[in-house]
Chain A
Amino acid sequence: MSNQPSTNKAVPGSTSQMESTKANLVAALPGIELTWSVFCDQDRVVFPAGSLLKVLKACKSAGFDQLTDLTAVDLLEYGNAADRFEIVYCLLNVDSGLRLIAKTHLSEPDLTIPSATQVWFGADWLEREVYDMYGIIFDGHPNFKRLLLPQEFQSFPLRKDYPVKGRGERHNFPVVTRAES
């Protein structure tokens, strides 16, 4: 992408700029199955988890230089979804304003995918949060541990099979009485 100030910020979805970016991506990723779709003016692409790093690097060299968000969805009992977890990478081209949502799917028992920190280092805390809430393991992360919950926490609370009120973790504390304090 050029360094000159862009005069017309792209309107997301089906613009000629997006089309050419798509064509570049498809050309850069031969033999990888990419499924494109547009929903609410958002361009989305679904790719197989095995080619994650290749796709992300191609996206970055196609101009998507910022990872705005990285999150996951638990598709347990959601329609007839084939895989349980969906990992979502929200990408932004800072120069042109184009946005792309790249998604991939994972299923138990192997919930390990490569870390995106070697492509965008900003994925650091985002991947730790996804691990914290869903238990997805990001291989190659520089400091891989829970981000928000206590390190000794045993569950992944945003999974659909985890009860809203927890499994008694909030009750698992000693009681301090007035006489002993």
Chain B
Amino acid sequence: MATQINKQLGDNVFLTTLDAAASWGRANSLWPMPFATACCGIELMSTAASKHDLSRFGSEVMRFSPRQCDLMIVAGRVVMKMLPVLQRIWLQMPEPKWCISMGACACSGGVFDTYSVVQGIDRFMPVDVYVPGCPPRPEQLIKSILDLQAKIQSGGTVNAREFKLRVLPEGPSRFDEEELIRIRERNGFKLEDPKYDPVH
């Protein structure tokens, strides 16, 4: 019986799991959302342009609507005025979705250790792949996308079960909410108290 089927179908049929088939499709059709706020954005554009040609790896379809994307590439520093926008765009993207933190500023704040620059987006939203560099070369970004494809194919599930397990913040040093209270107390400063702002 098996021999008969083999003879008739030959190499035209192969067996796999639904998870693996879905992950294979997702990994090779990543649509990036370019959240480019600084010089890393220039390298991101260069990666998509003809010389490095991101479309060789199946993720060239940059979309500026978060509803059409499944890969957030945060390229550049994120300031405190931009972070709520970033989080909102991230929440607007449909499942399944992934995030690449590109460059030193998005990963850790980089040299901008000042009052307004968020010290790593991973403190406030999930990140799958970090790309070091200031700014990273296009080859590094391509490598990060290849790594992300490997990650999707190795653990992806058809109904995105693996995301449900990630219930904790994933930054390298999780932010201690007590720290904020301690900073405020040390400075004798409360956000409710408009002591420094006579107008607002």
Residues of A within 8 A of B (CB): 131, 135, 137, 144-146, 149-157, 162-181
Contacts and interface: CB of A to CB of B under 8 A. Distances in A.
B81 A150 contact: yes
Contacts of A163: 115, 187
A178 B196 contact: no
Interface residues of B, number: 42
Contacts of B125: 175-176, 181
Interface in B177-200: 179-180, 183-184, 187, 189, 191, 194-200
B155 interface: no
B168 A149 contact: no
Given A170-B117, A181-B91, A137 B199 contact: yes
Contacts of B170: 177-178
Given A149-B81, A168-B184, A173 B124 contact: yes
Interface in B82-125: 83-84, 87, 90-91, 97, 113-119, 123-125
Interface stretch (B11-19, B133-141, B144-152, B159-167): B159-167
A178 to B, nearest CB: 4
B70 to A, nearest CB: 13
Contacts of B115: 157, 162-167, 169-170
Given A146-B200, A172-B180, A179 B163 contact: yes
A72 to B, nearest CB: 16
11 contacts: A155-B197, A156-B196, A164-B114, A165-B113, A167-B183, A167-B184, A171-B175, A172-B180, A173-B118, A177-B170, A181-B126
B171 to A, nearest CB: 8
A163 B83 CA distance: 21
B199 A178 contact: no
B196 A169 contact: no
Contacts of B198: 135, 137
B196 A135 contact: yes
Query: Considering the complex of A and B, which 10 residue pairs feature the smallest CB-CB distances, nearest first?
Result: A166-B115, A178-B166, A178-B126, A168-B183, A179-B167, A175-B169, A176-B125, A168-B180, A155-B196, A173-B124
Contacts of B165: 179
B49 interface: no
Consensus secondary structure, chain A interface: loop
Given A165-B115, A176-B87, A154 B180 contact: no
A181 B191 contact: no
Given A145-B200, A181-B125, A170 B166 contact: no
Contacts of A152: 200
Contacts of A176: 87, 90-91, 124-126
Nearest to A173: B124
Given A162-B115, A168-B180, A151 B169 contact: no
